[in-house]
Structure 1
């Protein structure tokens, strides 16, 4: 029997994560934070692969008191916001903090301990602290060529963002903390996640927390390791999905606007106007864009010709998919994605 009640719950929505869920859970089970302080809640959205069987096998092999408890629930709503809200309803009374996670990330053994220490330090000066996010990096596991190219794309100036894939290097306030540790009472104060956001639900949640007067922080000293996409098709579809839901977030929260994320769209509009007014002048932004892509590719020369060619190609897919998604978001309602 546990000697104390847990204060932290890590919530993991999953769907067909058989390739990564074991590594994900093992990284949480090996934490330096005492096992009695932490529980893991996994919510399966209807996996058709071996995800649930893998989780049950891990559950059965856990020794009492030596590891955090793993609780597995079905998620009838299937999607991430439904899973997170369902978890809020299932939490023991002792839980004061909730950690966002997913089934294809891993963390180092001191991740939870460092999050706890950083939270306690920041809370002294920011009593309304409601969320603390971290930095997202590529997985250290062996990567295929495309996954490596996409990882390099996300770390380039043209491929990063201010959200989940931000390459920030200073601790400070933010509107969009990634894989955040949240205060439970703050989540309950704003009624949890908006289930109409099948993607970008965390951006919406963060904006509502800020609007309610809470403070959000992020720190580069604590990281999660995420598996990247392993095909250019899924990369393009993901880019479109992020653009689509960015529009939905902006329509609800205009303060979420970040100009750099609109640069491809603005460039497309400007080039289209130039084609009508002065076709020769339209070549100037096109050649400038091509030149920047070329220089970006050459900056990855040490990783081989696959990156010299692949990173610019990946950037084109990212910018095109995200821009088309922004436009698409104005035209139709959201639906389930097919990029995984």
Structure 2
């Protein structure tokens, strides 16, 4: 819906990319199609992709409408927080929006951001939405992975992944995906912490909340996110999450939430029970296996009427839990042996 002020406004969208050939055209097109008639500056920070990511963006840049523009930056280090800081520094507008190279923005995204943050970003708010997760490919494993990373048993009570329906009520939360915020806030916080190669958004949101900002989940914003298509990529992704979440918690001397504590608690319990009594270890493992089997059967067979999904989904849950838990353990162990050295990248102030 067009507003009186929309034509005079400008927002900047920051998108770190690396080998996003299957998705990048859809990502850029989702920004071109926004119900926002002001100027959108699309800033792509590419990690020297070896596929056609940059070529696709360059081709689309030649056909842009007048109220859209694309800037391409290069970050050979490929670290996401570095890319985000590069993009935020480059941005010309007062309103900054973060997006990923495999996530499509809904057509109302920019308009909702302006409503939440104000036309000049003066409201001390970080705004994000919820995620509708789609398979990375048509393969059976990819479909099962999508179910697993959307299910509370797989990822806990992350509301931006598990909220059903279209509740209009905004919620104050700890963190949100694909956040929008003012450039002034980014400068005030000193940018994203470039030591945290993952979970940099949780760290940014945490520091913002310490400064009195609110982090708001707006359910009217629904992103389309494409999950990892294979078990190998899923395991790597959640290992990195677990590892860097530990670094974030050590940095801020925080205890994890119950959701983030569950995988490492389960893994630690298995290790301890294995030393105490093999029978206790077997009982706990049996209970876990039965619960996962029942949940997988309910989701795959009863809800979706597809027997083929049962076994892949049964394997998704332990892949999530074990990779995340192992990442936690190694992250904590390395923090003990090598104290945390990270700090906000204050040179961006």
TM-score past 0.5 threshold: yes
- Counterparts of 1:286-305 in structure 2, within 5 Å, are 286-299=285-298, 300-301=300-301, 302-305=304-307
Which residue number corresponds to residue 312 of structure 1?
Answer: 314
1:37 partnered with 2:35:
no
2:19 aligns with one of 13, 16, 21: 16
Deviations 1:126-151 (A, max 9, x none): x7533001101113887332221111
2:152 aligns with one of 149, 154, 157: 157
Which residue number corresponds to residue 238 of structure 2?
Answer: 239
Once residues 330 and 60 of structure 1 are traced to their aligned partners in structure 2, the CA distance between those partners, rounded to angstroms, is 48
Which residue number corresponds to residue 275 of structure 2?
Answer: 276
- Using structure 2 for the length normalisation, give the TM-score: 0.85
Q: 1:8 to 1:266 in 2, by over 3 A?
A: same
Q: CA deviation at 1:113?
A: 1.9
Which residue number corresponds to residue 337 of structure 1?
Answer: none
Which residue number corresponds to residue 78 of structure 2?
Answer: 78
- Counterparts of 1:166-315 in structure 2, within 5 Å, are 166-168=161-163, 171-255=170-254, 257-299=256-298, 300-301=300-301, 302-315=304-317
Q: 1:139 to 1:276 in 2, by over 3 A?
A: closer
Higher alpha-carbon deviation: 44-53 or 261-270? 261-270
Deviations 1:51-109 (A, max 9, x none): 1111110001224x2x41111122244221111111222122xx121111011111232
8 Å contact kept, 1:154–1:165: no
8 Å contact kept, 1:155–1:167: yes
Q: CA deviation at 1:256?
A: 6.3
List runs of 5+ in structure 1 lacking aligned partners.
335-340
Q: 1:45 to 1:277 in 2, by over 3 A?
A: closer
1:131 partnered with 2:129:
no
Corresponding residue SS for 1:176:
coil
Once residues 182 and 73 of structure 1 are traced to their aligned partners in structure 2, the CA distance between those partners, rounded to angstroms, is 21
Q: 1:57 to 1:154 in 2, by over 3 A?
A: same
8 Å contact kept, 1:135–1:166: yes
Deviations 1:174-194 (A, max 9, x none): 121111111221111011111
- Counterparts of 1:88-99 in structure 2, within 5 Å, are 88-92=88-92, 95-99=93-97
- Counterparts of 1:43-58 in structure 2, within 5 Å, are 43-58=45-60
Once residues 159 and 331 of structure 2 are traced to their aligned partners in structure 1, the CA distance between those partners, rounded to angstroms, is 20
